Amino acid sequence: MIATVALMGGTGATAANAATPAAATAREATATAAQATVTVTTAARKKRKASRKARNKAIARPMVRARGWSSVQFGCLSRLWTRESNWNHRAVNPVSGAYGIPQALPARKMASAGGDWRTNPKTQIKWGLKYIKARYGTPCAAWAHARSRGWY
């Protein structure tokens, strides 16, 4: 269907054949196929985002547990980082320049956790958990601060 749409889309309609029922049907088919492609593309994009979020949360869960924090603390962390970056390890705040899952500012601070901080969610999570521990003590304390002040 997509190859057919591409071929029909490239031919163009003339004034003579634009009024024919076949031309109208071809235009409708092209429009329907284009809409279906957009829908599939949007659905695929949402699925990738959802799988990235799930994958990054799955990386974080045992790291949180290893710090001795409970599932309640993980819930606070999940809400915090969902708000900050939606768990996207390539998220960039266009205003501040904060980067990654924990939205480090400046972003290069995460280099202390590993040289691959720009692309590795595990490195970003490692840095973010250390930051939360040092600054707030727990993810729930960081989440409470973020809710009251709008940042953490």
Beta strands in the chain (DSSP E): none
| 102 neighbors 85 (Cβ within 8 angstroms) | yes
On average, the pLDDT of the chain sits at 84
What's the pLDDT at 6? 38
Residue 81 has pLDDT above 80, yes or no: yes
Nearest to 80 by CA among 99, 66, 50, 101: 101
22-65 residue pLDDT tens:
655 656 655 555 565 555 677 777 777 779 999 999 999 999 99
As a whole number of angstroms, the longest Cα–Cα distance in the chain is 75
How far is Cα 19 from Cα 14, in angstroms, rounded to an integer?
9
Total Cβ atoms within 10 A of residue 118: 16
Kindly report the pTM of this predicted structure: 0.70
Beta strands in 15-66 (DSSP E): none
Q: Is residue 11 classed as helix, strand or coil in its secondary structure? A: helix
